[in-house]
Amino acid sequence: MDQDQKKSAAAEAALAYVEVGDVVGVGTGTTVNHFIDFLGQAKGRIDGAVASSEATADRLSGLGIRLLDLNHLADVPLYVDGADEATSAGYLIKGGGGALTREKIVACASRKFVCVMDNSKLVKMLGEFPLPVEVIPMARSLVGRRLVAYGGLPEFREGFESDNGNVVLDVRNLPLSNPHEMEKKINNIPGVVENGIFAERRADILLISGENGVECIETSSSGL
């Protein structure tokens, strides 16, 4: 299988976690786009979806899937999203597409987080993929200096604006042996909206597609 076929296989496997009457939180990215297409074929089974980005909302609505406002929901049973990097413990780096803040909000509001990916995304330790950090524009330089002090090498993502109207710094070289600590540390910098470490809310289930099919790893994450 090529990489796109692997992504499609992992996305299709996530349909097994969609139950009749569910509200499904839906992430953003190329693997998730496959999941959205499969979900469109099963839209009669679900009550609707919560989108993590404007791009995802457009794709969902284009397939006739009902969009729901997270503020009007008491419960989101399932969230399906991809990752830029993942460990077998369910720790993730996300945000390559710039939707990290809304993705983390929906993930934290959901009971079960299923992460779909091809096997190239599975790593022993996070950090090779540059960490996206969403920042209020006026704080870009301040945040950049703090990230350098933490050991990072931030790069401004030119020409990009998040759905929330903010900018993104992509940070290499950060020490991520303790992702919980670094996630909190970065989020304590004034001007940071959110960062792409998913440790406090890691994935509950990893669906990893490779040459021999889709492997399922349950991470024992507690969810809500």
pTM of the model: 0.96
What's the CA gap between 40 and 53, in Å, rounded?
A: 17
Rounded-to-10 torsion of CA 156, 161, 163, 169: 0
Residue 8 within a domain? yes
pLDDT at 224 over 60: no
**Are 11 and 81 within one domain?**
yes
* CATH code for the domain of 81: 3.40.50.1360
Identity of the amino acid at 90: G
Residue tagged 């190239």 (tokens): 120
Question: Is residue 143 classed as helix, strand or coil in its secondary structure?
Answer: helix
Residues 6+ apart with CB under 8 A from 158: none
pLDDT in tens, 78-129: 999 999 999 999 999 999 999 999 999 999 999 999 999 999 999 999 999 9
pLDDT at 193 over 60: yes
**Are 208 and 175 within one domain?**
no
At 51, the pLDDT band (50, 70, 90 cuts) reads very high
**Are 93 and 153 within one domain?**
no
Question: Is residue 91 classed as helix, strand or coil in its secondary structure?
Answer: coil
pLDDT in tens, 159-173: 999 999 999 999 999
Residue 174 within a domain? yes
Whose CA is closest to 78, among 21, 40, 125, 132? 21
Whose CA is closest to 201, among 110, 70, 95, 69? 110
- For 217, the token pair is 């790893």
pLDDT at 184 over 90: yes
Residue tagged 């496959």 (tokens): 34
**Are 35 and 11 within one domain?**
yes
Residue 38 within a domain? yes
Catalytic residue among 12, 85, 103, 183: 103
At 32, the pLDDT band (50, 70, 90 cuts) reads very high
Active site residue 103: yes
